[in-house]
Structure 1
């Protein structure tokens, strides 16, 4: 199990969860739908994590990939 954690201020969040969310967003799933999964954090937590510039960049790239896939 990957126990890497990313830090935002004093909060840590599991990188494996973030990676799964980013992968699902890039596949076209909404954060709301992803976070409805009981294994995922609530959407509000994820959106708070986006204060981390590195995570925000990954999220924006995933959304761009999803938009590109939708237009193919």
Structure 2
């Protein structure tokens, strides 16, 4: 059971780190030049690919304030 818990922790830990990378880039007060935008888009693609590949049918819901 501990081994399963570690696998789940690693999977979600990686997903959260990839999401945090996107969030930190997007949630910046700095100006977005072409290079920064390109990096953000690449980071989003990486996160979405990982999430879809490891989380199966689990989906990300979006909420509005």
TM-score, length-scaled by structure 2? 0.42
The structure whose residues are more often strand, as a share, is: 1
Q: Could you say which structure has the greater relative contact order, defined with CA pairs below 8 angstroms and 6 or more residues apart?
A: 2
Structure label with greater radius of gyration? 2
Instruction: Tell me the TM-score normalised to structure 1 length.
Output: 0.39
